[in-house]
Amino acid sequence: MLEALLGGLFGGLFRLAPELFRLINGIADRRHELALLELQVEREKAGHAGRLSEIAAEAAAQFDTRALDAFSESIRAQGRLTGVPWIDAVSQTVRPFLTYWWMALFTLFKTAVFLQLWASQGDWKDAVTYVWTAADMGVLSAVINFWFLDRVIRGSR
């Protein structure tokens, strides 16, 4: 009877063993598939992030190109004549007038500062070095370059 009982028990265990191995193997397969899916999702995320950065770079480049085109067109439009003589005359005198006006104000201001420093210090050489700075030289250079390089550029067209 013990043999029959042990035989039945071991027979049942041996019959159950392949099912148990299939269950364990199925769990391992599902874990493996899940790991593969997670890797695939990560790869797709990285691909999408790369594509998004490409799209952003393309959009920025297009924006910059359009902005430069608009800037170029606005500069070209400034030089176009309307055909109405008095409007064209006023349009052509705006930049020179503003330049003369600004230079006059600048000169008056610098002269007033120079005279005040000269009066308080008594030495005109020291007053000049305080009044005329590197920034003033930069402003003067910018104004001169604007007017004379503008003529050179217009003449080369």
pLDDT digits (tens, 9 = 90+) for 40-59: 888 888 888 888 888 988 99
Query: Is pLDDT of 111 > 80?
Result: yes
Model confidence at 104, pLDDT cuts 50, 70, 90, reads very high
Domain boundaries, the chain: 1-80, 84-157
Both tokens of residue 34?
Answer: 């899940």
